[in-house]
């Protein structure tokens, strides 16, 4: 689809994920209500970074639910673990995945969410095949990406995707 794969954001830039203006800029406050999570759900946050969404997801699924924070950088998992400990969140489990496999339990996930990460997949077909293996019957995959069709979003084109590119 003519899309160049973006480089993975390194752990050195992790502070950007926790910037105070993120909620206002990205309207992250709209995401959780739209997901309609239930207590006890199992969610995989692919490319979880520092856990910006993971702890919010953990709160939504409650004590009986689980959030798998999947990363390909151990350093990001370490940062996320510190953030979760600081917030006393115990139902977020870090998983060190690979560029082709998130290492999720087979048929064990109700929802997979990818926030601004799909455009960085080196092997999108393989990664999505493994994500699908992790879904329970009726499980859902949610993509949140900057829309390539929207020229008003002030981010490099390399970090945007069109709806057609995501559907492929």
Q: Is residue 81 part of a domain?
A: yes
Kindly tell me the sign of the dihedral angle through the C-alpha atoms of 78, 83, 88, 90: negative
Query: Could you tell me the pTM of the whole model?
Result: 0.84
Residue 164 has pLDDT above 90, yes or no: no
Contacts of 114 (CB under 8 A, 6+ apart): 46, 47, 141, 142, 143, 144, 145
Q: Is residue 128 part of a domain?
A: yes
Q: Is residue 31 part of a domain?
A: no
Kindly state the tokens that stand for 3.
Answer: 């899309």
Structural domain that includes position 159: 36-167
- Which of 104, 8, 13, 113 has the alpha carbon at shortest distance from 53? 113
Q: Is residue 30 part of a domain?
A: no
- Pairing of the two strands 160-161 and 146-147: parallel
- Pairing of the two strands 66-71 and 135-144: unpaired
CA distance 6 to 118: 9
pLDDT tens-digit profile of 88-134? 999 999 999 999 999 999 999 999 999 888 777 888 889 999 999 99
Comparison of pLDDT for 92 and 165, the residue scoring more = 92
- Which of 41, 96, 39 has the alpha carbon at shortest distance from 73? 96
Q: Is residue 21 part of a domain?
A: no
In the chain, how many domains are there? 1
Residue 12 has pLDDT above 70, yes or no: no
Kindly state the tokens that stand for 89.
Answer: 């969140």
Residue 159 has pLDDT above 70, yes or no: no
| Residue 48, domain CATH | 3.40.50.150
Residue 137 has pLDDT above 80, yes or no: yes
pLDDT at position 16, please? 55
Q: Is residue 26 part of a domain?
A: no
Q: Is residue 4 part of a domain?
A: no
pLDDT tens-digit profile of 45-67? 999 999 998 999 999 999 999 99
Q: Is residue 108 part of a domain?
A: yes
């Amino acid at each position: 689809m003519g899309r160049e794969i973006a480089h993975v954001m390194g752990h050195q830039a992790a502070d950007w994920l926790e910037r105070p203006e993120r909620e206002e800029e990205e309207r992250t406050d709209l995401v959780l209500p739209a997901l309609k999570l239930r207590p006890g759900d199992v969610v995989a946050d692919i490319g979880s970074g520092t856990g910006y969404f993971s702890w919010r997801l953990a709160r939504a699924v409650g004590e009986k639910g689980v959030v798998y924070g999947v990363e390909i950088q151990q350093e990001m998992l370490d940062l996320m673990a510190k953030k979760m400990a600081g917030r006393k969140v115990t139902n977020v489990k870090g998983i060190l995945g690979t560029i082709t496999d998130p290492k999720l339990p087979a048929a064990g996930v109700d929802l997979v969410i990818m926030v601004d990460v799909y455009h960085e997949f080196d092997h999108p077909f393989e990664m999505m095949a493994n994500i699908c293996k992790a879904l329970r019957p009726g499980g859902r995959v949610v993509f949140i990406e900057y829309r390539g069709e929207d020229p008003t979003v002030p981010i490099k084109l390399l970090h945007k995707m069109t709806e057609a590119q995501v559907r492929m």
